Amino acid sequence: MTWRVGTVVGRRQESATAVTLVLQVPGWPGHLAGQHVDVRLTAEDGYTATRSYSVASAPDGERVELVVESVVDGEVSPYLTGAVVVGDPLELRGPVGGWFVWRPEQTEPVTLVAGGSGVVPLAAMLRARARAGSDADVRLVYSVRSADQLCFGDELRALAGDGFTPVYTRTAPPGWPRPAARLDAATLAGATWPADRHPSCYVCGPTGFVEAVADLLIEAGHDPARVRTERFGPSGGNG
């Protein structure tokens, strides 16, 4: 897999801590929603640091959007969110990963469950679904600590409609009908497809969140083979 040099052609602040970097990557071979890329930084003395980031955008020619969540004390993410500006070159390779993906030819209902920045590959799936004109029924549950952590809020509402359920675990917005609490079995069941519709389930977030949600889905009768997970560790595996 070859390293390519992309150019940063745009950046957007998505939340208090997350930034979208829009890259133009000559020769990009295309990607599937849910895949990730390796990004490599090189210091003047040749030292390198590489981390993986999920692609947030639907397949779109040579354009690739990454969302970088700034990890406190991280080595790579603070540089990407703080120092990189439009016009900078950035090395990347990929796409990587062929399991945690959604393909436009899938027609079954889709349940997406995101914890924190785990929303990124799931947003890519929603964007790919819209771009492909897919009729696949979709529901998205997105758990965040508070509203300032929510990425793509308006866009997710537009893409998933009534199928979009944000869950606030620490601080709910004023007037929000559900008090701030962790995602529980009843909320999850009410906001996702029941097992008898045989949905494909995608769960992405921190390890504890993914463990808990995957267990709830299995207890609710979902076939473990239809529950795909992607986790990042407590150290911020994407540092």
Residues forming contacts to other proteins in the complex (CB under 8 A) are: 1, 5, 40-44, 46-52, 75, 79, 83, 88-91, 96-100, 207, 211, 214-215, 217-218, 224-225, 227-229, 231-235, 237, 239
How far, in Å, CA of 138 to CA of 106, rounded?
12
Q: What is the DSSP letter of 151?
A: -
Shortest separation between residue 225's beta carbon and other proteins, angstroms: 6
How far, in Å, CA of 72 to CA of 75, rounded?
9
Shortest separation between residue 49's beta carbon and other proteins, angstroms: 5
Q: Which is nearer to other proteins, 83 or 186 (CB)?
A: 83
Shortest separation between residue 235's beta carbon and other proteins, angstroms: 5
Q: Is 62 helix (H, G, I), strand (E, B) or coil?
A: coil
Q: Which is nearer to other proteins, 47 or 154 (CB)?
A: 47
Q: Which is nearer to other proteins, 143 or 168 (CB)?
A: 143
- Burial class for 29, CB neighbours closer than 10 Å (0-12, 13-18, 19+): exposed
How far, in Å, CA of 10 to CA of 146, rounded?
26
Among candidate residues 88, 28, 99, the one with its CA nearest the CA of residue 60: 28
Shortest separation between residue 189's beta carbon and other proteins, angstroms: 16
Q: Which is nearer to other proteins, 73 or 135 (CB)?
A: 73
Which are the contacts of 20, defined by CB distance < 8 A and separation ≥ 6? 10, 11, 12, 14, 56, 65, 66, 67
Q: Which is nearer to other proteins, 88 or 155 (CB)?
A: 88
Shortest separation between residue 54's beta carbon and other proteins, angstroms: 12
- Please report the sign of the dihedral spanned by the C-alpha atoms of residue 162, residue 164, residue 167, residue 173: negative
Shortest separation between residue 180's beta carbon and other proteins, angstroms: 26
Shortest separation between residue 7's beta carbon and other proteins, angstroms: 10
DSSP letters spanning 46-58: S-EEEEEEEB-SP
Q: Which is nearer to other proteins, 13 or 42 (CB)?
A: 42
Residues 182/14, Cβ–Cβ less than 8 Å: no
The count of other CB atoms within 10 Å of the CB of residue 16 is 11
How far, in Å, CA of 44 to CA of 28, rounded?
26
Q: Which is nearer to other proteins, 184 or 215 (CB)?
A: 215
